Every structure is written in C-alpha cells, then in structure tokens.
Structure 1
Amino acid sequence: MTRNRDILLTALAPAAWGATYIVSTELLPGAPTLTVAALRALPAGLILLALTRALPGRDWIGRVFVLGALNFAIFFACLFAAAYRLPGGVAATLGAVQPLIVLLLAWLWINAPLTWAAASAALMGLIGVGMLILGPGAAFDWIGIAAALVGAVSMAAGTVLTRRWQPPVPPLTFTAWQLTAGGILLVPMALIVDPRLPVMDTRGVLGLLWLGTAGGALAYWAFFRGISRLGPSAVAALGFLSPLSAVLLGWVILGQALTPLQMLGAALVLGSVWAGQRANRPQPTGSRNAALNRARV
C-alpha cells in the first residue's frame, strides 16, 4: 500500500473513536465507564487471540502488559476521571496535547526527528480543537486537569513504545496482545470502582458491539498498524480527527448546531492533520544525507 492509503486507513481509528461519545450517551446512558472499557477491550482481545492463535513469548509478556497499561488501563481510567470532573471541551482540549508529547518522546526514545514544522502542526491542531469544542463557560478542576494530562502522557508513551517494541508478528496479533492485556488490567479496576454491568437491552448490546468491534478491535488494529508503517508522530497527528469526528457526528446525528468559530476550528484541525503528515513524511535518503552533511559543517 502507498503511504497515502496507509494514512487513510489509520485515520479510520480516530474517526471511529469520535463516535464513542454518541454511542455511550445514546446507547449506554449511565453505564459504569470502566466496566464498559473492560468489556470493550477484553472480549475483543480474546476474539482476536482466537483468530490469530498466537500468544506472546516469555520475553514479550512484560512489555505487552506495559503497553496494555499505557494504551488502555491507565489511559481509560484517566480519561473517565477527567470526563467526570471537567466539561467535555476542557478534557478534550487537554487531551489534544498528546501529539506534542509524542513528538518529544519519539525524539528522546527512538531518535525520531523533532522539527519546527511538526511541532507547529501539532500546536495548530491543539488550537483548532480548542476552538472546536471549548465553550465560554468552561470550568476547571485541578484533579480533572491532572487526570487529563496523565492520560495524554500515558497514551503518548504507549504510542511511542508500540513503535519501539515491534515483535516479529503481524499487527493484528500485536493488537490482540495489547487489547487482552489492557482488558485484564481493567477488570480489577472496574470491580473496585463500580462493579455494575451496563443495561443489556438491544441498544446496550449494539453499543457494546460497536465499541468492541469498529471502535475497538478494528480501530486499534488500524492504529497500531499505522504506528508500524507511518511512525508514532504521523499517527499522533491524526488524533485530532477524533474530536472533529465527534463534533461532526453530533451535528449530523443529533442536530447540534455548529458556530462560525467551530467551523474555523474544524478547518484548523484539518489543516494541522495535512501539515502534520507533510512534516512527518520520511525524507529521501539523499535529502537525509545532505541534511547530515550540512549539520556537520
């Protein structure tokens, strides 16, 4: 596949995650969030394990559980804590610092280039998300703010380490390992915080099916596959599509109005995604060598 096709396929992940808010509020209202998170991760991981028929070796179990904690357990716990204590716009805007953190961690941990173009694109996306969903009546809670920032750091670290720790298995198998590990870690957290089960009527079953398949197994397969092919910085830049997708789905499905400021924010988000992909595009070997020679001079 070409790079453009890889970008489009990877972009399906944050686009699908943008539907999580509508699915949760419309199909699973009042459901215990960590329990839903565990039901979203563990069954999908076990199904993928049954399909791939491959378990991690002893030397990979520790790293898989670290990734499961960063990408799922810690991230989901902080995400829901922030959602409870902060307005959605504030929580999403704080979470949008993740691409900037990914750029820094990728530079520190895997020697990825840190350029002004990539940082500027991430900053533009952050501003666009703020314009898109941050309302004038936003309230602040320091515990909620800390949870949102810890969640962003956790997912950013998981994104970079997913690239650094690439096992010799297909992306679908690696996705199965991480989803299962994350689900195993989420189960005791859910039992401690709120052990209730969501209402399992038709709407609840449909909501869990969406979260576990399109919003879970398929989305995370596209996400982890994209990290291996495009790199963590390019994939993180696509994360701005998640709040954009949420706002657009709210407009299309729920009839929520879009203000001129939100439209401008949407344009900035799309511009940042385009600029982020250009900034994180791999340079030809000749260009890299020329840049290294100029740096030596």
Structure 2
Amino acid sequence: MSSYRNLLLFLLLAALWGSAFMAINAGLEYFPPVLFAAFRYDIAAVVMLGYAALVVDDPIPRTRGEWTLVAIGGVLLIAAYHVFLFVGESDPHVTSAVAAVLVSLSPVLTTVFARGLLPSERLTALGTVGLLVGLVGVVILTRPDPGNLLGDGTIPKLLVFLAAAAFALGTVLTRTVDAELPIETMEAWSMAIGAAIMHLVSAGLGESMDEVVWSLEAVLALGYLSIGASAVGFLVFFDLLDRLGPIEINLVSYVAPVFAALSGWVFLSETITPTTVVGFLFIFAGFLLVKREAIRAEVARYRSTR
C-alpha cells in the first residue's frame, strides 16, 4: 500500500510542477512577469507561514546559521529562480514544455555545483561527459544563431537555464551551512523573503499594478501557482523526499516535462516539437551519467528491501 501511495504522490507532484509551467505562460498574458512571480509567493508565503505556525514548535529562525539558510532559500531558490523563469517564459518561443525541459537540467547542475563547492565531492571523467551531454541538450533547445544571438528566443531560453542554475546552486549552498531548520520554517520564510526581493526587482524594472489585467483566467493561474504548485507541491515534495530519498525524487524533473507539454497542448494549444523531445533525451542521458553511482546504489537498496 505504501508503494502505491508513493507512486500516486510522485505523479501528483510531477503533475503539479509540470502543469505549473503552463499556468505561468497562461498568467503572463495578464501580469508583468516579475510582479506575477512576486504575487505568487506573497500568497504562498502567507499559507506556508500559517502552516509552519501550526506544525512547528518554534516557527521563527533564531540563529545566524538558520537565517543564512533562509537567506539562501529566499535569494536563490525563490527570487533568482523565479525571476529568470518568469521573464524567460514571457517570450513566445519558450513554451511550457521547453521551460520544463530546461529546468530538468537542475539535478545535473546540482551535482556539478556540489562537486565544486563541497570538498568531499568530485566530478569523475564520466560525470564530466554527462554534464557535457546535458549541455548539448540545452544547445539543441536554445539553438543559438551566432549571427543573431538576440533573436529567435535564444536569450529567454538561456534565462530559463539560469533559473535552473540558480536553483541548483541554492540547493548546494544550503548543504554548506552548519545549521538545521524545520523544512516548513525554511520554506515559509524563504518564500516571504523571496517575494519581497521580487517586488523590489519588479519595481526596478518599472513594472506596475497598472499593467495587471484582472480576469478569471488571471485569478485561476495565480491561485493554482500559489496554492497548488507552491504550497501543496512543496509539502508533497518534502514528504516524498523523506520516503524516497534524493535520487528518486530528482526523477520528478524528468516526468514533469510530460505534464508540462500535455497541459500546454490542452490549455494553450502549444505544439510539441521534435527539437524539444531530442533536447530532453540529451538532458536525461546527462542525468543518468552524472548520477550513475547514486542510481546504482539506490537500485541495490531497493532490491534489498524486496
């Protein structure tokens, strides 16, 4: 029964996070990109702060190390990731599927950053090949034209790549901090700080409330991203992280593009191109090469429990 529960939650998380790319593209018709991201985490932060107050004995970070964890989460995992992602997706060349596939490079980049920043981690020759294979996938997706680097969506796609890099770097940096903090507390305060930063960035870019067009579609997109993809999604993620471990949960990144492509096709009439599929296959192959030892250990552990 537990295995079925884990499978259902895994598919639910992939569906929530995959369809979030579609909801972003849908909402960008009504909101300036960074302000949209800030609104998303205004709501998610309130929900998560309330949840943390209910389930955590002390929902407020107290030490310098705890606030460092929150700062890393707010700056990189929330603000930088979503600024790059939402601005990148505001370009019509960046479909829901393309954005999801580019973000799926994040587990590969996480390993690379870990090997560079954590003394105990080293990237082997085969792991380096895996990284290069993953980057080939990015090149296939972005298709940069040396004579026109600013055209055909190349820069927006690279912004989505930077979003994946920011998330990966933030994930690794949290492991370098000598402090422990309940996940609910870290997520809630990181969301609050990230939202505040994004409001500042939005103001600096000249975005304003006057550009917002309130409609039923706008409210549905914002509500889905805030409650479904963020609040519920992160709770499911951390529940599965405890049950499955980091290797299996990383596979969500490779199932989510399927839901992104399907939801984008159903709701936004986005097309799924062969280039997107080929780019995804290269990125997934890179993941398998970089994570091969961890995957082998995970398979052995799974067989031993059968």
Cα contact 1:124–1:269 (8 A) shared by 2:
yes
2:193 paired with 1:184 = no
Amino acid at match of 1:47: V
Which residue in the other structure is 1:230 paired with?
245
User: d(CA) in 1 for partners of 2:188 and 2:276?
Assistant: 37
2:49 paired with 1:55 = no
User: d(CA) in 2 for partners of 1:147 and 1:253?
Assistant: 24
Cα contact 1:240–1:269 (8 A) shared by 2:
no
Secondary structure in 1 matching 2:297: coil
Amino acid at match of 1:140: L
Shift of 1:178: 1.7
Judged with a 3 Å threshold, the aligned counterparts in structure 2 of structure 1 residues 29 and 258 are, in CA distance, closer, same or farther, namely closer
> Size of the alignment, in residue pairs?
284
User: d(CA) in 2 for partners of 1:11 and 1:279?
Assistant: 25
For residue 208 of structure 2, the aligned residue among 190, 195, 208 is 195
Amino acid at match of 1:71: L
Which residue in the other structure is 2:81 paired with?
75
User: d(CA) in 2 for partners of 1:254 and 1:83?
Assistant: 13
Question: What root-mean-square deviation, in Å, do the aligned CA atoms of Structure 1 and Structure 2 show?
Answer: 4.3
User: d(CA) in 1 for partners of 2:8 and 2:282?
Assistant: 19
Amino acid at match of 2:82: F
Which residue in the other structure is 1:214 paired with?
228
User: d(CA) in 2 for partners of 1:114 and 1:43?
Assistant: 39
Secondary structure in 1 matching 2:209: coil
Which residue in the other structure is 1:292 paired with?
none
For residue 185 of structure 2, the aligned residue among 162, 173, 180 is 173
User: d(CA) in 2 for partners of 1:200 and 1:51?
Assistant: 28
Cα contact 2:31–2:213 (8 A) shared by 1:
yes
Judged with a 3 Å threshold, the aligned counterparts in structure 2 of structure 1 residues 121 and 248 are, in CA distance, closer, same or farther, namely farther
Structure 1 length-normalised TM: 0.71
Unaligned runs of 5+ in 2: 54-58, 302-306
Per-residue CA deviations over 1:112-137 (Å, capped at 9, x if unaligned) read 46456666666656656776x66799
Which residue in the other structure is 1:30 paired with?
30
Judged with a 3 Å threshold, the aligned counterparts in structure 2 of structure 1 residues 135 and 149 are, in CA distance, closer, same or farther, namely closer
Per-residue CA deviations over 1:31-74 (Å, capped at 9, x if unaligned) read 11111111111221122112221111132223312221011112
Aligned pairs for 1:93-242 within 5 A: 95=103, 97-110=105-118, 111-112=120-121, 114=123, 140-141=149-150, 147-165=159-177, 168-193=180-205, 194-196=207-209, 198-223=212-237, 230-231=245-246, 238-242=252-256
Secondary structure in 1 matching 2:70: helix
Cα contact 2:24–2:221 (8 A) shared by 1:
yes
For residue 248 of structure 1, the aligned residue among 241, 244, 262 is 262
Judged with a 3 Å threshold, the aligned counterparts in structure 2 of structure 1 residues 127 and 214 are, in CA distance, closer, same or farther, namely farther
For residue 94 of structure 2, the aligned residue among 88, 92, 108 is 88
Shift of 1:17: 3.1
2:290 paired with 1:283 = no
Cα contact 1:96–1:240 (8 A) shared by 2:
yes
Percent identity, aligned pairs only, is 24
Cα contact 2:81–2:163 (8 A) shared by 1:
yes
Structure 2 length-normalised TM: 0.69
Judged with a 3 Å threshold, the aligned counterparts in structure 2 of structure 1 residues 25 and 219 are, in CA distance, closer, same or farther, namely same
Unaligned runs of 5+ in 1: 288-297
Secondary structure in 2 matching 1:18: helix
